[in-house]
Structure 1
Amino acid sequence: MPESLTRAVRWDTVVGALLVVLLLLSFGFVDGFGNALNLSFLLGNTLPIALIALPMTLLVVTGEIDLSVASTAGLSGAVMGRLWNGGMAIETIIPLCLLLGVVCGLVNGLLVTRLGLPSLAVTIGTLAAYRGIAQIVLGSDAVTDFPAQYLDFAAGRVGDTFVPQAFPPFLVLLAIAVVALHATPFGRSLFAIGAGEEAARFAGIRVKRQKLILFMVTGLMASVTGIFWALHYASARYDNATGLELSVVAAVLLGGIDFDGGKGTLGGAIAGVFLLGTLQNVMSLQDVSAQSQTVVTGVLLVLSVLGPRVARQISVARAGRRAASTPASSLSPSS
């Protein structure tokens, strides 16, 4: 296969093409998909996944993962509701909740980088712990009376368009993440860590510090997501964002980020996010149950891990066959 064609069929390119095909089919054949209200719902409901996917992509590139992000989001929303009920100003509450997210990420990062524990096991534990703390903080209460201007920002649209007001700030964060991962020494160091941690360490990269920073940033963005979730849906509850980590991980891996680290693009991850979000929106319009949507998400998670690996094995096998046939074809008679 020509090299140019090989590049064209990279997994992230395939995911982007699938997103375009799904959008075209949805506009053409799904009733109600193309109206402004639904498109606004689609973007607004996908933003929580997209926000956490930004740092999660960087984290998975290094070979780590954080499954506690949804619980961190729920805890931030619960604390925001509790403090608001206590009479604290929202302008004070939001920075405190963001700091809480950083602390949650710091705990995860220290357990992984300083004690050498696997991030998968650590964050499964903190997933349960942070959700339990959220329930202690707020109980079964739901706080809904947040200031109107904040609710309008989280759920409103830009003028008469279908674009949510929160979408342009997300695009700014996306641009920052793309530059950080693909155009800076910091981003190159993350790929080096994922490709081989020991080699990266010998190359002078401060592996533990880089990973700790990523866990803290992931906690921060999970807290941002928790605040946005509570304001977007006008309800702060301890169980906000339950199960969101499954959608985030599925979308990131679907976009071609290698679970073992060292490979992938942020563009592919975001294409995976919106492919998953669009698919969920279409299923909702077709009255597919929430349980069935969860099944579809799980199947996509399996395929997102299996697909790139199968494609890589096929590529390696093809390269091996070429290498085996080249010497024979290039032999010339000796003089």
Structure 2
Amino acid sequence: MTTATTTSTNRVSRDFDKPLWRRVLVSREMAIVALLVIVTLYAMTTVRGFGQPITLNYLLLDVAPILLIALPMTLVMITGEIDLSVGSMVGLASVVTGASVQAGIPFEIAALLALLVGVIGGAFNGFLVTTVGLPSLAVTIGTLALFRGLAVGVLGTTAVTDFPETWTALAKAKIAGTTIPYIMVPFLILLVVFVILLHFTPFGRGVYAVGLSKDAARFSGIHVERTKFLLFVLSGLVSAFAGIYFTLRFGSARGDNATGLELQVIAAVVLGGVSVFGGRGQIYGVVAAVLLIGVLSSALRLANATSDVINVITGVLLVVSVVGASILTWLQRARRRPGRPPRVSASTAS
């Protein structure tokens, strides 16, 4: 226990022993932001049609579910946990919405039922992880299959497409005078909420503390289990909201909606600088990573690249990001290894 606490203390002290400007500008998150700018400018100058306003509109429509789910996923992974069931929850929320509308329930009530299912699903994950004590990887792999099985079981191979035109049009509509879709409004609201929650509240500091060392956090008075439970509930709730948007955007509720979406979310969160071991991450880096993946996918599609090529490039980018971060961490530890004699300057020696 002493070793774990000492390691966590060293990690925190190393994070804050540099000026604020250096911690912000010389960071993995800022590198992702810079890469996003470079790739965007390159695509606008070399890929025909990428600079068109309609391209930005479709790009934001495509990445909106990933942007939404990545917000709570960032907090979950900072605590050292993971939620692999988010894609299946999107599909289940879509099916609940479609089945309810098919049964004659007004769309607004159907959407509330879908959000309630998201809360229940997130609470179920949180209960198994925090109360039962099971590892989140195993739990959410199980609920990934469970939620997807429920979604397919409710509708089978059929699809519900009879949704109010007002809502389906709103899901694809643009803000007046711009090419930005309306879905960015709730995303920006949630972005502000999660930024404040993570970076400007005691709860957020507790999230980082849990990821650094659960024992140290518990001895500091942080309710570790409650923190994780609330984050899994938030993950389920936001995933359900993304499922409602997904349904309206494509005008179809199916059991296989958003299959594989969880992998895109986790890839973006890790690429955005969140440590897979917990205790580290910034929301702006994750948002930049989601947009980077979206820009790459959009540019490659316009360049007539196949989906397999897009997946390969995204996977290579993620692997390079993780390996690069591991190499940098190893180099930093090698420079600070115990027993290394301190440097003595010429002025001090004289």
Which category describes the TM-score, using the shorter chain as reference length? over 0.9
Q: For the Cα contact (< 8 Å) 2:44–2:51, is it kept in 1?
A: yes
Give the partner amino acid of 1:172. Answer: I
CA separation of 1:141/1:204 partners in 2, compared to 1, >3 Å: closer, same or farther? Answer: same
User: Hey, what does 1:258 align to over in structure 2?
Assistant: 275
| Separation (CA, whole Å) in 2 of partners of 1:98 and 1:328 | 63
User: What is the aligned partner in structure 2 of residue 189 from structure 1?
Assistant: 206
1:107 aligns with 2:124: yes
Q: Does the 8 A contact of 1:52 with 1:248 survive in 2?
A: yes
Q: CA deviation at 1:319?
A: 4.4
Q: Distance in 2 between matches of 1:92 and 1:39?
A: 32
Q: Where do residues 1-335 of structure 1 align in structure 2 (5 Å cutoff)? A: 8-319=25-336, 324-327=341-344, 332=349
1:319 and 1:136, CA in 2 relative to 1: closer, same or farther beyond 3 A? same
CA contact 2:93–2:243 (8 Å) conserved in 1 = yes
Residues 1:35 and 1:7: Cα distance change in structure 2 (over 3 Å): closer
Find the aligned partners of 2:304 and 2:323 in 1 and give their Cα distance: 29
2:48 aligned partner, one-letter code: D
Identity, in percent, stands at 45
**What is the CA–CA distance in structure 1 between the aligned matches of 2:337 and 2:317, rounded to whole Å?**
30
Task: Return the alpha-carbon distance in structure 2 between the equivalents of residues 321 and 15 of structure 1.
Answer: 32
Question: Is the partner of 2:343 in helix, strand or coil?
Answer: helix
- 8 Å Cα contact 2:102/2:162 also seen in 1: no
CA apart distance, 1:303: 2.6
TM-score (norm. length: structure 1) = 0.94
Q: Distance in 1 between matches of 2:67 and 2:346?
A: 50
Cα deviation, 1:108-132, whole Å, max 9, x if unaligned, reads 1111111111101110111111101
- Paired with 1:46 and 1:104, the residues of 2 have a C-alpha distance of 23
RMSD: 2.0
- Provide the aligned length of Structure 1 versus Structure 2: 333
Shift of 1:52: 0.2
Distance 1:77 1:37 in 2: 26
How many angstroms apart in 1 are the aligned matches of 2:117 and 2:268? Answer: 25
For 2:222 and 2:342, the matched residues in 1 are separated by 40
5+ residue gaps, structure 1: none
Alpha-carbon distance change, 147 to 2 in structure 1, aligned in 2, over 3 angstroms: closer
- SS, match of residue 236 in structure 1: coil
Q: Which amino acid aligns with 2:39?
A: L
Residue 192 of structure 1 and its aligned partner are, at CA, apart by 0.3
Alignment CA distance shift 1:157-1:6 (3 Å): closer
Partners of 1:160 and 1:304 in 2: how far apart? 38
SS at match of 1:326: coil
Tell me the CA shift for residue 217 of structure 1.
0.4
Structure 1 position 325, deviation (Å): 4.7
The Cα offsets for residues 22-73 of structure 1, whole Å up to 9 and x where unpaired, read as 1111111111111111110001101110000000001001000000000000
- The TM-score normalised by the length of structure 2 is 0.90
